[in-house]
Chains A and B, each alone.
Chain A
Amino acid sequence: MEMHQIRYFLAVSETLNLTKAAERCNVAQPSLTRALKALETELGGELIRRERALSHLTELGQRMLPMLRQCYETALTAKMVAASIRKGGAASLSVAISQIVALRPFTPKLRELSRAFPGLQLRLLRGSVREVAEYLKSGAAELAIAGPLAEAWSRFDSFPLFEERFDLVVSRTHRLARQNSAEFKELASETLLIHTGCEMVEELNARLEANGIRDAAAHQVATREDLLALLRANLGVAIIPVGAMETNDLQRIPLKSLNLVRRVLAYTVAGRPRAVACATLLNMLRAADWDLESATEPERAHR
């Protein structure tokens, strides 16, 4: 399929009128009709039912619309990237990352990006999941990396990247530090460090309650730095996602029957044009092989 064919189809889907669609696309109506016919031949069915002044989409047309809209945007971005690398000039990119997502897995991507776009200016924002959602909505951030955003806004596009397991993390001097695993009941007398900005704080609380840990003593912290500082000072224990933080000087212990994982996703706002650096980073994040530990041969099959 060709971009102009998709563009004409999208115009018809919005105007529901072939004459108006042709005007909007700046083409003669016969050209528009011919292009649509070719698209219909390729897709193997009618997309538009032409009825006097008002046309409407067929079932196939309705079904293809979101995909074709996305294809058009993706291809426009590819064209924009091509134009921008020929032209040069500094790109910029603002990314919001939720408090409890570590930057480390993403730094090689950012390094590649700044190599490909010399002069790239990065702006990294940190915040709670609520703040991250706000950064995206307001346009302060073009892209967000976070666990599931509590707030479901219909305009967020989300792309799952990888999953992280929650483990118990304690100071090296803690009495549990030498154990290979821990059980919930061992936490009854512990002070829990709760990161209020963590995407899954409610889910975690529910798991604790379900396992008999009610009204446990707890300290609340709002930043990763404070969480780590209190952990190191042995002021409490925390249940946090693996890989979330630099914890070389702390001990990680699997918590039996916790089975809590959180998904880390990339978010953008649907319909908002992505600048070249943002689009390229998103493609890199989505294409990346995050599952390095369990890399296996992909399924094979033959036609």
Chain B
Amino acid sequence: MTERALSHALEEAFIRCRDLEAPLADRLQAFTNEVRRLRPDFAATVDALVGRLADINAGATAPKVGEPMPGFVLPDEHGRLVKLDDLLGEGPVAIAFHRGHWCPYCRINIDALARAEAEIAAEHRHIAAIVPDRQRFAAWLKSDAKAPFPVLTDMDNGYAISLGLAIWVGDKVKPMMIGSGSGPSVSQGNDNWMLPIPATFVVGTDGIVRARFVDPDYRMRMAIDDMLAALRSAN
């Protein structure tokens, strides 16, 4: 298959998986399987990186259940500054880190979160996404999934690094991303090749973490049901 045909096949697979009427984990798994089938070389390289990250428990020191979530002041997709405390003033919040607008797993995840937000907004429970992408790309990610919640820009992954949630893409994965045109340099506005671990934290109005999901395998995300249950039981 040529590069072009391959990228077309992946795009088709992505749309099919995103639009599956199935739980988030199944949709992500379906796309993972497609990548394994269409790009076994890429999947193997990613597995090696994920394996190394798992070996050292990457992300494990991020705020745990019962610990306070450190505050932030980050611009949203319109350039408005959003503070964690402002969000908590409206009720418990799920803070969901995402890797970027170019990441199909994040797009599937945001799509699922957008549907979930519709369910819980009336209960004064909310979601906020954080990406290292700049505003224009954050806005695109938001409109792509018609997400009603803010998509905040964490410039240079500063907040993510301070939480122990950033990883370096590395010399093996980097050329593969460049080859397929999905490098994060333009959208992040730097050449660091750092990405956040796409973790999710459910934070109560007192600023304490009520539930968290941290997996250095970016193909795994917090189950929507778990997130909703934690948001509903938080106050």
Q: Are A42 and B56 in contact (CB under 8 A)?
A: yes
Q: Does B101 contact A (CB under 8 A)?
A: yes
Q: Quick check: which of A109-117, A213-221, A235-243 contacts chain B, the rest being far away?
A: A109-117
Contacts of A205 in B (CB 8 A): none
Q: Are A287 and B102 in contact (CB under 8 A)?
A: no
Contacts of B117 in A (CB 8 A): none
Q: Does B162 contact A (CB under 8 A)?
A: yes
Q: A71-B192, A299-B102 are in contact. Are A289 and B180 (CB under 8 A)?
A: no
Q: Does A54 contact B (CB under 8 A)?
A: no
CA distance A86 to B84 in the complex (A): 10
Q: A108-B79, A287-B155 are in contact. Are A303 and B181 (CB under 8 A)?
A: no
The one of B81, B135, B171 that contacts A112, using a Cβ cutoff of 8 Å: B81
A 140-176 contacts with B by CB, 8 A? 159
CA distance A81 to B84 in the complex (A): 12
Interface flags, A21-54, vs B, CB<8A=1, else 0: 0000000000000000010011110000000000
Contacts of B55 in A (CB 8 A): 41
Q: A44-B171, A295-B136 are in contact. Are A71 and B166 (CB under 8 A)?
A: yes
Identify the interface centre among A43, A70, A81: most chain B CB within 10 Å of its CB.
A81
Q: Are B156 and A71 in contact (CB under 8 A)?
A: yes
The tally of residues in B whose CB lies under 8 Å from a CB in A reads 62
Contacts of A286 in B (CB 8 A): 134, 155, 189
CA distance A116 to B152 in the complex (A): 15
Q: Are A284 and B136 in contact (CB under 8 A)?
A: no
Q: Are B155 and A42 in contact (CB under 8 A)?
A: no
Q: A283-B153, A303-B182 are in contact. Are A291 and B136 (CB under 8 A)?
A: yes
Q: Does B150 contact A (CB under 8 A)?
A: no
Contacts of A295 in B (CB 8 A): 136
The one of A82, A115, A116, A301 that contacts B102, using a Cβ cutoff of 8 Å: A301
Q: A286-B134, A286-B155, A289-B79 are in contact. Are A1 and B161 (CB under 8 A)?
A: yes
Q: Are B140 and A298 in contact (CB under 8 A)?
A: yes
Q: Are A42 and B71 in contact (CB under 8 A)?
A: no
Q: Does B137 contact A (CB under 8 A)?
A: yes
Q: Are A71 and B157 in contact (CB under 8 A)?
A: yes
Q: A85-B71, A287-B134, A295-B136 are in contact. Are A1 and B81 (CB under 8 A)?
A: no
Q: Does A261 contact B (CB under 8 A)?
A: no
Q: Are B194 and A85 in contact (CB under 8 A)?
A: no
Q: Quick check: which of A72-80, A92-100, A123-131, A250-258 contacts chain B, the rest being far away?
A: A72-80
Question: In whole Å, how far is A155's beta carbon from the nearest beta carbon of chain B?
Answer: 19
CA distance A41 to B170 in the complex (A): 11
CA distance A1 to B59 in the complex (A): 8
Q: Does B115 contact A (CB under 8 A)?
A: no
Question: In whole Å, how far is A234's beta carbon from the nearest beta carbon of chain B?
Answer: 39
Main secondary structure of the interface of A (DSSP, over half): helix
Contacts of A38 in B (CB 8 A): 56
Q: Does B198 contact A (CB under 8 A)?
A: no
Contacts of B140 in A (CB 8 A): 297-298
The one of B13, B162, B170 that contacts A75, using a Cβ cutoff of 8 Å: B162
Contacts of B13 in A (CB 8 A): 302
Q: Does B52 contact A (CB under 8 A)?
A: yes
CA distance A115 to B135 in the complex (A): 19
CA distance A86 to B122 in the complex (A): 28
CA distance A295 to B136 in the complex (A): 8
Cross-chain pairs A/B with CB under 8 angstroms, 18 sampled: A41-B52, A71-B192, A74-B156, A76-B162, A77-B158, A78-B72, A82-B71, A85-B85, A86-B85, A116-B83, A283-B74, A286-B134, A289-B79, A297-B140, A298-B187, A299-B181, A302-B180, A303-B180
Give B contacts to A, CB under 8 Å: 7, 10-11, 13-14, 35, 39, 42, 49, 52-53, 55-56, 58, 61, 70-75, 79-81, 83, 85, 101-105, 134-140, 153, 155-159, 161-162, 164, 166-168, 170-172, 177, 180-182, 186-187, 189, 192, 194
Give A contacts to B, CB under 8 Å: 1-3, 38, 41-44, 64, 67, 70-72, 74-79, 81-82, 85-86, 108-109, 112-113, 115-116, 159, 280, 283-284, 286-289, 291, 295, 297-303
Closest 6 CB pairs of A and B: A75-B161, A301-B182, A74-B158, A78-B158, A289-B136, A75-B162
